[in-house]
């Protein structure tokens, strides 16, 4: 897993302070805010699906099916935070979901890492010539500030 270089793997490493990355200029403000708030956190890691939202299929009368497994060696609480952040960014879920896993500073640190992960992944997937639109930049800044408020 350490040799992976796709945008999600890079973003995961950046989220955990294992690598640095540049992001498009429009996302620099929320990225800097999040990096300034990231602190060391201790949590037991295990094999988890690092990109769960959008990768679970649901059908009436059928068991959910997980697709496109993205393996990561991270704490399960981090994956929960990524799902919550995805809901806030792309599925119109309410900000009060930030309190779902509220177990103090660890939860907040997982949320910070989750937003960093998505921001860096989006920037990396789009490529260096892509410019974040005002909507994307505003959305990331709003989620970063919501995480900041706790």
State residue 128's pLDDT score. 59
Quickly list H helices, 16-104. 28-37, 76-90
pLDDT of residue 139: 80
pLDDT higher than 90, residue 150: no
Residue 142: CB atoms within 10 A of its CB come to 14
Q: What is the pLDDT of residue 50?
A: 86
Q: At 27, is the secondary structure helix, strand, or coil? A: helix
Helix (H, G, I), strand (E, B) or coil at 77: helix
Look at residue 38 in the predicted model and tell me its pLDDT: 95
The band of 28, judged by pLDDT with boundaries at 50, 70 and 90, is confident
């Amino acid at each position: 897993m350490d040799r992976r270089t796709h945008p999600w793997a890079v973003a995961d490493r950046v989220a955990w302070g294992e690598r640095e990355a540049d992001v498009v200029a429009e996302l620099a403000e929320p990225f800097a805010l999040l990096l300034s708030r990231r602190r060391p956190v201790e949590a037991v890691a295990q094999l988890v699906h690092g990109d769960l939202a959008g990768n679970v299929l649901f059908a009436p009368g059928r068991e959910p099916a997980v697709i496109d497994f993205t393996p990561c060696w991270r704490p399960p609480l981090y994956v929960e935070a990524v799902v919550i952040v995805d809901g806030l960014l792309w599925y119109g879920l309410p900000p009060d979901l930030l309190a779902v896993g509220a177990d103090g500073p660890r939860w907040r640190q997982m949320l910070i890492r989750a937003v960093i992960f998505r921001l860096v992944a989006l920037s990396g997937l789009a490529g260096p010539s892509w410019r974040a639109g005002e909507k994307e930049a505003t959305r990331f800044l709003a989620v970063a500030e919501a995480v900041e408020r706790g």
